């Protein structure tokens, strides 16, 4: 819940202004949604202008690293080589790869090929082949601020069926972005994503979703892409989270590789695709911080 301040107290946002002339009305509006039974963000989930600027700078590095991967990725490359590129470029730009050692993850980036849904671990044994589709998921820490985004890459002669999956997965992110409006709900955004996937004959992974990010790698709220309009957390200006639906060609069911306890696969062995952007909710929509 939002903590109420005295009207003449200094505002919680760091502006230095009195609460009554800064965020009092903003907080009252959030409280009115909470009184109606909706899930609402607390102050920790609303980034200050200073924090947003730090996240933007981190996002610039994240984008540059993915651009670098896009220049270098090729058939015959191992996923370990992708990891090396990410580690090298992130360090060169002054950042730290956020996945490295996060809850025991052993590498600097996630590389997920074909039926791997997410959290693929780079390896010398995994070699990119003609026709593969791969998700490269980069996350960066820069001066204490976190950014997170991923892209799909089509290797060589990708089948029309798989290429369409990759394209629709990207469209799903765009549908979600268009549905981000302040004072509406994460469920509105998630439903827009889900409906587009369903309309194209695909499914969305239910158990894994997006997340808040910026001050920590993973923050509240958890973001579902199988949600209903008018549900989930209220979106307000200053919230930062990812839009990253995992779109499956077949059924939504998944399993985790027991040998490493990280890599997630589609249960039916059919391919999965995912793009990820990091956004901040603004007064009239959303700002993309990393892509």
Instruction: Report the predicted TM-score, pTM, of the whole model to 2 decimal places.
Output: 0.95
Q: Any idea what the CATH number is for the domain that residue 242 is in? A: 3.90.230.10
pLDDT of 5 reads: 84
**Within-domain flag for 124:** yes
Residue 3 lies in a domain: no
Asked if residue 12 belongs to a domain, the reply is no
In the chain, how many domains are there?
A: 1
Which of 184, 282, 280 lies closest to 228 in space, CA to CA?
184
Residue 259 has, within 13 A of its CA and on its CB side, a CA count of 3
71, part of any domain: yes
Q: Is residue 70 part of a domain?
A: yes
**DSSP annotation of 185:** B
Q: Is residue 150 part of a domain?
A: yes
Contact between 132 and 77 under an 8 Å Cβ cutoff? The reply is: no
Cα–Cα dist 20/95, whole Å: 38
Residue 3: per-residue pLDDT:
64
Residue matched to tokens 């579902």? 224
pLDDT at residue 15, rounded to an integer: 87
Query: Is 16 a member of any domain?
Result: no
Question: Exposed, middle or buried: residue 215 (CB in 10 Å: 0-12, 13-18, 19+)?
Answer: middle
Nearest to 143 by CA among 45, 32, 53, 37: 53
CB atoms within 10 A of CB 262: 17
Dihedral sign for Cα 48, 279, 242, 118, please.
negative
How far apart (Å, rounded) are the C-alpha atoms in residues 60 and 178? 22
Full residue range of the structural domain in which residue 138 is found:
25-290
pLDDT at 264: 98
**Residuewise pLDDT in 10s, the chain (291 residues):** 566 788 899 999 888 899 989 999 999 999 999 999 999 999 999 999 999 999 999 999 999 999 999 999 999 999 999 999 999 999 999 999 999 999 999 999 999 999 999 999 999 999 999 999 999 999 999 999 999 999 999 999 999 999 999 999 999 999 999 999 999 999 999 999 999 999 999 999 999 999 999 999 999 999 999 999 999 999 999 999 999 999 999 999 999 999 999 999 999 999 999 999 999 999 999 999 999
- Collapse the DSSP code of 170 into the 3-class scheme (helix H, G, I; strand E, B; otherwise coil) and give the result: helix
Whether 1 is in a domain gets the answer no
Which residues, other chains included, contact 99 with Cβ-Cβ below 8 Å and sequence gap of 6+? Answer: 105, 107, 108, 109, 110, 137, 139
């Amino acid at each position: 819940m939002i903590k109420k301040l005295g009207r003449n107290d200094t505002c919680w946002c760091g502006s230095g202004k009195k609460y009554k002339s800064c965020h009092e009305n903003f907080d009252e509006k959030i409280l009115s949604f909470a009184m109606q039974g909706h899930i609402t963000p607390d102050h920790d989930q609303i980034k200050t202008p200073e924090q947003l600027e730090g996240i933007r700078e981190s996002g610039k590095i994240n984008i540059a690293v993915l651009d670098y991967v896009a220049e270098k990725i090729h058939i015959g490359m191992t996923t370990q080589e992708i990891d090396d590129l990410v580690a090298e470029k992130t360090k060169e730009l002054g950042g730290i790869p956020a996945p490295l050692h996060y809850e025991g993850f052993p590498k600097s980036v996630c590389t997920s090929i074909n039926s791997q849904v997410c959290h693929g671990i780079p390896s010398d044994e995994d070699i990119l082949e003609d026709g593969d589709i791969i998700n490269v998921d980069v996350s960066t820490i820069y001066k204490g601020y976190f950014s997170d985004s991923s892209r799909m890459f089509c290797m060589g002669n990708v089948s029309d069926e798989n290429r369409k999956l990759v394209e629709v997965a990207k469209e799903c992110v765009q549908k979600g972005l268009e549905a981000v409006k302040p004072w509406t709900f994460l469920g509105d955004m998630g439903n827009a994503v889900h409906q587009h996937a369903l309309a194209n004959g695909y499914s969305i992974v239910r158990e894994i979703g997006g997340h808040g990010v910026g001050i920590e790698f993973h923050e509240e709220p958890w973001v579902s892409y199988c949600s209903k309009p008018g549900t989930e957390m209220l979106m307000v200006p200053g919230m930062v989270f990812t839009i990253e639906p995992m779109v499956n060609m077949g059924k939504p069911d998944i399993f985790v590789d027991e040998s490493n306890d990280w890599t997630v696969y589609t249960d039916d062995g059919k391919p999965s695709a995912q793009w990820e952007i990091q956004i901040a909710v603004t007064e009239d929509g959303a700002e993309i911080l990393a892509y």
